[in-house]
Amino acid sequence: MSQPDFSHDGIRTARGTAFRYLFMLCALLSILTTVAIVATLLIDAIDFFATVSPVEFLTGTRWSPTNDPVAFGVLPLISGTLIITLGSALVALPIGLLTAIYLSEYASERRRAYLKPALEVLAGVPTVVYGYFALVYVTPALDTILPLSTFNALSASIMVGIMIIPMVSSISEDAMSAVPDSLRQASYGLGATKFTVSTSVVVPAALSGIISSFILALSRAIGETMIVAIAAGQTPRMVDLTDPAGMFLDSIQPMTSAMVQIGTGDIVGQGAAYKSLFAVGLTLFVITFVMNLVSELVASRYREVYR
Amino acid sequence: MTNRQMTSSETEQTDDQQPNPTPGTDSLADRGTDIGVETSSRDDPATVADRTIIESRDLDVYYGDDQALNGISMEIPEQQVTALIGPSGCGKSTFLRSINRMNDLIDIARVDGELFFREKNVYDDDVDPVALRRRIGMVFQSPNPFPKSIYDNVAYGLRVQGQDDNLDEKVHTALERAALLDEVEDQLDSSGLDLSGGQQQRLCIARAIAPDPEVILMDEPASALDPVATSKIEDLIEDLAEEYTVIIVTHNMQQAARISDKTAVFLTGGNLVEFDDTTKIFENPESDRVEDYITGKFG
């Protein structure tokens, strides 16, 4: 009796190896790109810090890269970013969370089936459209009741907020839908109303997902460029956090739109003004990177609370 | 053990109105052999166990186009253990869930007919299922404690129902009644999920009885547990029946025989085939199909 033949098939083995390297190459490509971008940022930023000290950059309260006397204090830009983030958070976090609760707990199957995709369309609108919408419709409309500047933080942050609502609602809704139905049943069985079930069982059990949706949405708001470049103005100023009216009603400049201004402006050569682009970019990168890290941490820290 | 002769049919019970059963050694024979709510004296505390607390009349339940229950009429006595048995898909869990209107939570479920809780039709328009569920506790198939502390799990129903005075005392009492207090007394602040499966199910029972409901519905409460934990739950159920009306769905016939006073047998198509004293069902059922099911020839 002859033994069955289990020997290697040369072609099959070679094909397997080829695919393995192809897939690895694709994975490496995106990693390498990221590494290259960070490296470029770092090299040019270090170059910049040779002329302007990091202390001066991080603590200076005046940003004027081109007009004399030049100054490279990043704090006004950070405060501008902070305002946009704060304003958009005020819009997006409550609306997004309540939307998620509605979709997950209140909406019927049928209603959810068309509401959820409709919301996600919001995320697909190009941000330049949001920007012009803020400038052309939101600002004039708000101007009838508030003493607004043409370019202002208010309409820009409202628009950024609307843009990130789907991120909050979609990720939060996923987290709430993942809460086991047996917990809802237990709560209903004890005579809880739908509102109590939502607030005392579903939201706490989905908290890690909800918090990470908040952080991801905010880091998206921090990095948002087009809307603020179009509608928020280009006035780098230290925002007084104790003065809400001044904060929102007038023109500001966050980090991203400062970078746009430098990148698209008529700056020539490799001077400090040009190099500052990379220093601001690096700052922005560090901030969003840390936030994404925190989001990951929160999600994994609380993941095991319910199974 | 004497078997008391009862006439019964699928849908109604007639009452032969014997006086109180002779005291027996067996708790099954001891408790509630008489039913017949119409003729028993409602004012005599001795006959409280013979009162009907839940009565269904011609109850149909549909899930979309599928009929899950077909004309169920039965009278469930107060402060006894009533077991609902039958093969998978026979409608026993559906019937259980129609008592506290948990079926309302399923979009496609529809109910016809009447179900009375203390002579009030719970499907009347003026009935708020939230209020109904506060008088009927429920324990589910697999333990489902909230991801909260043991204390907060038991206190949950009390808080929801606004009974939050003397919370500590009520939580302790409920844990004690659920035979769990000794095991968890020093770890009330730790998560309910840290307990073993059997302990979790007793925690869920404590949670259900804490607000002091009148009826406790149990949907195969021991099916996810090992034999030791199961026997603890069974002992507990017999103790609970001294104060509460317990209605238990089980796929385990021995369990029904061990712990229940009355047994309802549901067979295919959502039909109630026989409802009688447990001893009668298991020793001398009227219906041949029930006998086949009980003896394992079918199902």
pLDDT score recorded for residue A249: 86
pLDDT score recorded for residue B138: 95
Q: Is residue B31 part of a domain?
A: no
Per-residue pLDDT, averaged over B132-156, amounts to 94
CB-nearest to B144 from A183, A192, A204 is A183
Q: Is residue B27 part of a domain?
A: no
pLDDT for B234 beyond 60: yes
For chain B, give the percent of residues with pLDDT over 70: 83
The answer regarding whether domain A63-305 maps to CATH 3.10.105.10 reads: no
Tell me if B37 sits within 8 A of B24, measured CB to CB: no
pLDDT for B36 beyond 50: no
pLDDT score recorded for residue A262: 84
Least confident of A256-265, B120-129, B226-235, B285-294: A256-265
B224 reaches A (C-beta below 8 A): no
Chain A's closest residue to B143, CA to CA, is A182
Chain B's closest residue to A304, CA to CA, is B147
Residue B111 C-beta-side C-alpha neighbours within 13 Å: 26
pLDDT score recorded for residue A305: 55
DSSP3 helix / strand / coil % (chain B, rounded to 5): 35, 25, 40
For B60, list phi and psi in degrees, rounded to 5: -115, 140
Chain B residues whose CB is inside 8 A of the A180 CB are 144
For residue A41, the tally of other CB atoms under 10 A from its CB is: 19
Q: Do B142 and A205 touch (CB under 8 A)?
A: no
* Strand-pair category, A63-64 with A71-72: antiparallel
pLDDT tens column, A122-181 = 888 999 999 999 999 999 999 898 888 888 899 999 999 999 999 999 999 999 999 999
pLDDT score recorded for residue A11: 86
pLDDT score recorded for residue A261: 86
pLDDT for B23 beyond 70: no
Q: How far apart are CA B246 and CA B99, in angstroms?
A: 12
Burial class (CB in 10 A: 0-12, 13-18, 19+), A20: exposed
CB-nearest to B157 from A109, A180, A191 is A191
| Tally of domains in chain B | 1
Chain A's closest residue to B149, CA to CA, is A305
For B71, list phi and psi in degrees, rounded to 5: 55, 55
Per-residue pLDDT, averaged over B206-221, amounts to 94
Q: Do B160 and A187 touch (CB under 8 A)?
A: yes
What CATH number has the domain bearing residue B68?
A: 3.40.50.300
Residue A271 — pLDDT band, cuts 50, 70, 90? confident
Q: Is residue B277 part of a domain?
A: yes
For chain B, give the percent of residues with pLDDT over 90: 65
B130 reaches A (C-beta below 8 A): yes
A304 reaches B (C-beta below 8 A): no
Closest CA to A88 of A147, A144, A159, A23: A159
B96 reaches A (C-beta below 8 A): no
pLDDT score recorded for residue B80: 93
Residue B31 — pLDDT band, cuts 50, 70, 90? very low
Chain B residues whose CB is inside 8 A of the A201 CB are 146
pLDDT tens column, B105-115 = 988 899 999 99
Task: Work out the angle at residue A172's Cα, subtended by the Cα atoms of residues A180 and A182, and round it to the nearest 5 degrees.
Answer: 10
CB-nearest to A201 from B132, B134, B146 is B146
Question: B63: which 2 tokens?
Answer: 């899930």
B204 reaches A (C-beta below 8 A): yes
Q: Do B147 and A204 touch (CB under 8 A)?
A: yes
CB-nearest to A108 from B107, B133, B142 is B107
Per-residue pLDDT, averaged over B129-144, amounts to 94
pLDDT for B6 beyond 70: no
pLDDT tens column, A224-238 = 988 998 888 888 888
Q: Where are the alpha helices (DSSP H) in chain B?
A: 27-30, 92-99, 129-133, 150-160, 167-177, 181-184, 197-209, 227-240, 253-259, 278-283, 288-294
Q: Do A307 and B193 touch (CB under 8 A)?
A: yes
pLDDT score recorded for residue B268: 82
Q: Do A187 and B147 touch (CB under 8 A)?
A: no
Residue B40 — pLDDT band, cuts 50, 70, 90? very low
Cα distance from A300 to chain B (closest Cα, Å)? 16
pLDDT score recorded for residue B51: 86
Q: Is residue B23 part of a domain?
A: no
Chain B residues whose CB is inside 8 A of the A109 CB are 107
Q: How far apart are CA B27 and CA B24, in angstroms?
A: 7
CB-nearest to B140 from A186, A192, A205 is A186
pLDDT for B27 beyond 60: no
B221 reaches A (C-beta below 8 A): no
Chain A residues whose CB is inside 8 A of the B132 CB are 191
pLDDT for A13 beyond 80: yes
Q: Do A182 and B137 touch (CB under 8 A)?
A: no
Q: Is residue B172 part of a domain?
A: yes
Q: Do B207 and A190 touch (CB under 8 A)?
A: yes
CB-nearest to A188 from B105, B146, B208 is B105
pLDDT for A221 beyond 60: yes
A34 reaches B (C-beta below 8 A): no
Least confident of A138-147, B35-44, B134-143, B290-299: B35-44
pLDDT score recorded for residue B47: 52
Structural domain boundaries in chain A: 13-51, 63-305
For B57, list phi and psi in degrees, rounded to 5: -130, 115
B108 reaches A (C-beta below 8 A): no
B97 reaches A (C-beta below 8 A): no
Q: Do A188 and B137 touch (CB under 8 A)?
A: no
ipTM at complex level: 0.81
B242 is in which domain, residue-wise?
A: 52-294
Q: Is residue B80 part of a domain?
A: yes
In sequence order, what DSSP letters do the residues of B199-222 get, joined into one string?
HHHHHHHHHHHTT--SEEEEESTT
pLDDT for B55 beyond 90: yes
Cα distance from B208 to chain A (closest Cα, Å)? 7
Residue B49 — pLDDT band, cuts 50, 70, 90? low
Q: Is residue B46 part of a domain?
A: no
pLDDT score recorded for residue B251: 87
Q: Is residue B95 part of a domain?
A: yes
pLDDT for B76 beyond 80: yes
Q: Do B208 and A190 touch (CB under 8 A)?
A: yes
A191 reaches B (C-beta below 8 A): yes
pLDDT tens column, A16-37 = 899 999 999 999 999 999 999 9
pLDDT score recorded for residue A269: 66
CA distance between the termini of chain A: 54
Q: How far apart are CA A114 and CA A183, in angstroms?
A: 26
Mean pLDDT of chain B: 83
pLDDT for A296 beyond 80: yes
pLDDT score recorded for residue A245: 76
Closest CA to B53 of B79, B27, B21, B30: B79
Per-residue pLDDT, averaged over B237-260, amounts to 92
Chain B residues whose CB is inside 8 A of the A184 CB are 105
Give one word for B58, left, alpha or beta, with left for phi > 0 and alpha for psi -120 to 50: left
